[in-house]
């Protein structure tokens, strides 16, 4: 059994933030039903746009195998009234709804928080959007890149003499998704403390726990990660700027280049660690300098200290540098590429790379699920499904018979895939 076995999650989202939040629920055992737009009448289009992002395998993104693992895909055209009724029935039995539409869209479809709470008072709705559900900017489109910019992350990323850089992944969306999951788990704790899951029956003795909305704005989730940014500006008038690979005000902590052109990160910013680091690189003079015993003194001489470390690295290859500093118990690390991860003993010992298979039998490796729970661990039950793969299965669980399902397909309310599209496969240890 996994930690969230029995929890029911309905995903009304596309691309990154909402689906990533729902993915985490699914990784720890929740039953996640993902609503996707069906193919058009000519068979084109449809599905979460991320299906076609980056590198593809047989028409589906390799990213999709991770983002949609453990989810059931049901193809509903939410512009169709009968499809919206199906979504309401799913919400009636859900613990959590995750959505990342622009504010107001779900309300127009009768699927907003207040509308769904009226039929399921214990429902938790996680709403992820660029600017939140209120405020003058709520109706504007806001992707993760905008959240990273407005939340302060882009401003401090990169080198001081160059324009700001982006992190190499969609970090703003991912941070927002994590906040959504954290908020949902707190809301579920409150719901359970106030009556628990609603059983669909009203009356004395059948009071449901209190549901609520988790309102996550992408820019606010990023802003929440910005450490001492606000008080430093308020009290000291300091605007944190770009500092390249260094950690401003915490010395030494930077990226250095070895003789063979490799980059390593050395974090010698603890007082005792700094002393060991200076001895390891042959700078006993700096190790014994009373002005450098504390971080505030080192911060005033950061250029001198970084220069000494870089001079030492200039004369050593990466393996010698790593081994010397590890022997001195100094935090040091190579900057890993994915190729490094595939062969690294720590990654392998922790089983951080999992082997799975596509429906055609070809192999695919995925990242393992984190965090690692000792008693109720998460896992990958299957990789990302084909569009609408579970439509019939889900509808039958709601009481629709084959004739009703065929009629819904004919009206365009739902989409049903051909059998050959199925990609739902089990985990291979």
Tell me 104's DSSP state.
Answer: T
171-193 helix and 17-27 helix, angle to the nearest 10 degrees: 50
Contact 209, 194 (CB under 8 A): yes
Other beta carbons less than 10 A from residue 76's beta carbon: 27
Q: Tell me the helix, strand and coil percentages in the chain, rounded to 5.
A: 40, 15, 45
**Which of 395, 389, 393 has its CA nearest to residue 87?**
395
Tell me 156's DSSP state.
Answer: G
* Angle (nearest 5°) at CA 6 between 183 and 207: 70
Contact 9, 94 (CB under 8 A): yes
Q: Using the structure block, give the residue that is written with the tokens 């050593």.
A: 316
DSSP 39-91: PPTTS---S-GGGGSSSEETTEEHHHHHHTTTEEEEEE-TTSHHHHHHHHHHH
34 exposure class (CB count in 10 Å sphere: 0-12, 13-18, 19+): buried
Structural Rg of the chain based on CA atoms: 26
254 vs 75: CA distance, rounded Å: 49
- Does 271 qualify as catalytic in the annotation? no
Alpha helices in 238-373 (DSSP H): 271-280, 284-287, 295-299, 302-314, 318-327, 338-343, 345-349
What does residue 36 show for φ and ψ, rounded to 5 degrees?
Answer: -125, 155
Catalytic residue among 31, 173, 215, 306: 173
Contact 17, 55 (CB under 8 A): no
Q: Which residues contact 220 (CB under 8 A, 6 or more apart)?
A: 132, 151
What does residue 22 show for φ and ψ, rounded to 5 degrees?
Answer: -65, -35
Strand positions, DSSP E, 318-391: 332-334, 353-357, 363-367
Residues catalogued as catalytic: 173
């Amino acid at each position: 059994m996994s930690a969230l076995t029995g929890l029911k999650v309905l995903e009304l989202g596309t691309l990154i933030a909402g689906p990533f939040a729902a993915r985490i629920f699914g990784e720890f055992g929740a039953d996640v039903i993902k609503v996707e737009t069906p193919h058009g009448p000519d068979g084109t289009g449809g599905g979460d746009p991320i299906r076609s992002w980056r590198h593809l395998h047989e028409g589906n993104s390799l990213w999709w195998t991770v983002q949609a693992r453990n989810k059931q895909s049901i193809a509903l055209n939410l512009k169709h009234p009968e499809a919206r009724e199906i979504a309401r029935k799913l919400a009636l039995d859900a613990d959590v709804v995750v959505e990342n539409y622009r504010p107001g869209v779900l309300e127009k479809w009768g699927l907003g928080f207040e509308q769904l709470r009226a039929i399921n008072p214990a429902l938790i709705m996680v709403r992820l959007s660029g600017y939140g559900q209120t405020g003058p900017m709520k109706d504007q489109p806001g992707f993760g890149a905008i959240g990273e910019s407005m939340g302060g992350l882009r401003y401090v990323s990169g080198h001081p003499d160059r324009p700001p850089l982006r992190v190499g992944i969609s970090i703003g969306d991912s941070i927002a998704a994590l906040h959504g999951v954290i908020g949902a788990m707190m809301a579920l704790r409150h719901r359970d403390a106030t009556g628990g899951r609603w059983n669909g029956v009203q009356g004395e003795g059948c009071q449901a726990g209190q549901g609520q909305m988790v309102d996550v704005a992408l820019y606010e989730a990023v802003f929440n990660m910005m450490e001492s940014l606000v008080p430093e500006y308020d009290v000291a008038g300091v605007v944190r700027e770009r500092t390249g690979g260094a950690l401003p005000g915490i010395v030494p902590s930077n990226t250095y280049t070895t003789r063979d052109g490799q980059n390593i990160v050395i974090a010698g910013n603890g007082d005792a660690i700094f002393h060991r680091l200076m001895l390891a690189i042959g700078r006993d003079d700096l190790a014994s300098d009373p002005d450098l015993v504390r971080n505030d003194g080192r911060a005033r001489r950061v250029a001198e200290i970084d220069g000494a470390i870089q001079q030492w690295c200039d004369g050593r290859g990466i393996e010698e540098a790593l081994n010397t500093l590890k022997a001195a118990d100094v935090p040091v690390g190579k900057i890993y590429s994915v190729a490094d991860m595939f062969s690294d003993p720590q990654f392998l010992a922790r089983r951080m790379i999992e082997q799975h298979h596509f429906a055609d039998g070809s192999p695919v490796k995925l990242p393992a699920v984190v965090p690692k729970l000792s008693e109720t661990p998460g896992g990958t039950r299957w990789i990302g499904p084909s569009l609408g793969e579970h439509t019939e299965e889900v509808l039958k669980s709601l009481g629709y018979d084959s004739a009703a399902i065929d009629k819904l397909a004919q009206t365009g309310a739902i989409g049903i895939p051909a059998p050959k599209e199925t990609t739902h496969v089990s985990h291979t240890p």
